[in-house]
Structure 1
């Protein structure tokens, strides 16, 4: 979301932050889902307070964060995102919306949240890099969490940082190690997934766990256009329907109680656009 040591309001990060902050301040959105990474490269208290918060701090009252993306959490090194989001960093007492509701959320802790008739599960992709045993354990957590929400009649969504449904770039490929999570999502017929990491934007067809477009599949959005330099695509999977690699911006979703939703990629630096509607399940 923010390049290292950046506080320029006219940077792509600054423009994005200002646009989303206006939506928060005017109460035009119910939630801002921060897919990360938040403060690139370095992620200590002083980095969040002195840089990220200067541009993005106004989003905190509506912010639900992934705990935590890879660059924000590397055990023994960058470990302060959880403290910052809980208002425990010197110079910043503001708490994210997630922390206001749930209390302290440590880096790597999964959590879930209902927005109307939609249920969102938040998972840390960093476990697959730093603690694969814990990542596999979270598969069971996800299974139980989605099963309970589905039984309650909720429509399901999952948020995680490193994308499974994605095109390659020179820096990243799909997160194949996430497949156990994907299998659980497909089992419970998750309708919507959100991820980041690639430094561009993508939208899939409704896709199943075998990469096939199906009516009851998951619409996978990969949104990593917050402010870091963008990356070109080097492959095109058959399930990708739209993608943008030359525009910074954010994704605005309108979710309805019947399971239908609208999407609109809002450009803040550049001209790329993508919008549409997915109808309610039959």
Structure 2
């Protein structure tokens, strides 16, 4: 009888016990909101109504209102040569409000030339007299040199930041950075991140009278294609361009990189002198900046915001 009673008690207990709850579904990765532009402030300019002043004010407002998670400064911050006094007396007056969200790359010559001007790294670390505020990446990390690569996750996206000036000034370090990029992107891809790269001198670009494509950077492009980078951001050309999703052989392919070249921050604009087939949209008559909304599934929306002029560009790339 005791055994029967124990059996009946076990049945009763099992009937009253709730089945285990299924695991909660993982929360979707949040959207990431970014503004990006390069080639920002002409020499000696402090005019708030200039193209540079309008862009600086518009992006500063987004920073203050938490409208963006990051501002990507794509190089050539201050013309014609960036020394501490120039960053403090000119760039900071129009663009200083972007510092709390600023992630930066350096361009050759205007930003950084070893032995000539190396103050951008000091300015970004709050070491220039009269400008103690640090850029966002320096607040997070530390002082680092203009040529040192770094990476940062934004939501489900992984960004690598590179100095294209290395290909001019230190080819051995450029090659070491290629190996670093391979490891960095490989690890991020293995972790399920969607990939992006920011650097100054573009590879996917139309020619101008001043510049052609930065062909020396092909090893970086090969690594980006190897790991299926989704988008790249660059400056330098003094105009705006967007490519098709393109591979390392200049072919439009479904899983290629969408290359944005956004050098419309405030300096004089340049016309195009060639027409690559992989460029889908371009203009050289409007200053402004690019806004991106990056979704957790790898899709993204873009919108070029004109601040002086009327050309624009917007669209969506679907998830892979």
How far the C-alpha of 1:106 sits from its partner, in A, is: 1.1
Aligned residue in 2 for 1:202 = 241
Once the two structures are TM-superposed, the CA of residue 5 in structure 1 deviates from its matched residue by 1.0
Q: How far off is 1:235 after superposition?
A: 0.4
Q: Classify the secondary structure of the residue corresponding to 1:194.
A: strand
Q: What is the 5 A alignment of 1:1-282?
A: 1-281=40-320
Partner-residue secondary structure (3-state), 2:174? helix
CA distance in 2, matches of 1:200, 1:141: 30
Report if the CA contact (8 A) 2:74-2:106 is conserved.
no
Task: Give the drift of 1:76.
Answer: 1.1
- Give me the whole-angstrom Cα distance separating, in 1, the residues matched to 2:264 and 2:67: 21
Structure with bigger RCO (C-alpha 8 Å, 6+ apart): 2
What are the superposed Cα offsets for residues 92-140 of structure 1, whole Å, 9 maximum, x if unpaired? Answer: 1000001011111211010000000000000000001111111111100
- TM-score normalised to the size of structure 1? 0.99
Alpha-carbon distance in structure 2 between the residues aligned to 1:135 and 1:62 = 27
- Alpha carbons 2:107, 2:201 under 8 Å: kept: no
Task: State which drifts further: 63-72 or 46-55.
Answer: 63-72
- Which whole-Å CA distance do the structure 2 matches of 1:271 and 1:33 have between them? 23
In the alignment, the residues of structure 1 paired with residue 233 and residue 170 of structure 2 have an alpha-carbon distance, to the nearest angstrom, of: 22
Whether the aligned pair in 1 keeps the contact of 2:81 and 2:109 (CA below 8 Å) is no
Superposition TM-score, scaled by structure 2 size: 0.87
Report the Cα distance in structure 2 between the residues aligned to 1:114 and 1:219, rounded to whole angstroms.
Answer: 19
Quote the RMSD (CA, aligned, Å).
Answer: 0.7
**Number of residue equivalences:** 281
SS across alignment from 1:78: coil
1:54-85: CA deviations, max 9, x gaps?
00000000000014554100111111000000
Runs (4+) off by over 6 Å: none
Is there any run of 5+ residues in structure 2 with no aligned partner, and where? 1-39
What is the rounded CA distance, in whole Å, between the counterparts of 2:256 and 2:77 in structure 1? 29
The higher radius of gyration belongs to 2
Instruction: Measure the CA separation in 1 of the matches of 2:137 and 2:125.
Output: 9
Secondary structure of 1:71's aligned partner = coil
Is contact 1:68–1:108 with CA below 8 Å preserved after alignment? no
| SS at 1:72 equivalent | coil
Instruction: For structure 1, list consecutive stretches of 5 or more residues without a partner in the other structure.
Output: none
